[in-house]
Amino acid sequence: MSWLLEALGALGAGEQVLMGSTLLVVGFYLFKAVKIGKVVGDLFSSAAAYAIVVAVGAGLAIALGWVDPNVGAATSQVKTAADAMWSVVGDWVIDQTIGRLG
């Protein structure tokens, strides 16, 4: 690679070509980052929209008396689900870590 830069430098176009190609590559990666940012933004926007719909639906169901919420049971079930997920993820992380170290 250095021989290429030396050859371009001898021709007098090395710095210009190097700067131009560097800016081209930086522009390309900025374009890719913006596209990825748009996808992530769309994902969060959709998630927020679904969360709003679920919250409004749950609020209407509670207000109309169709659902009688039991906060104690709900938090107990959420805690049980979180413990189950944490044990699975934790076990997987431990297995992966031990596998890489061993």
Give 3-62 pLDDT, tens digit per residue: 666 766 676 665 677 777 778 888 889 999 999 889 888 888 999 999 999 999 988 988
Looking from the CA of 25 toward its CB, the CA atoms found within 13 Å total 6
Q: Are 9 and 15 in contact, with CB atoms under 8 Å apart?
A: yes
Residue 65: its pLDDT value, please?
83
Residue 52: its pLDDT value, please?
93
Q: Are 34 and 26 in contact, with CB atoms under 8 Å apart?
A: no
CA distance 88 to 92: 6
The confidence band for 80, taking pLDDT boundaries of 50, 70 and 90, is: very high
Residue 79: its pLDDT value, please?
93
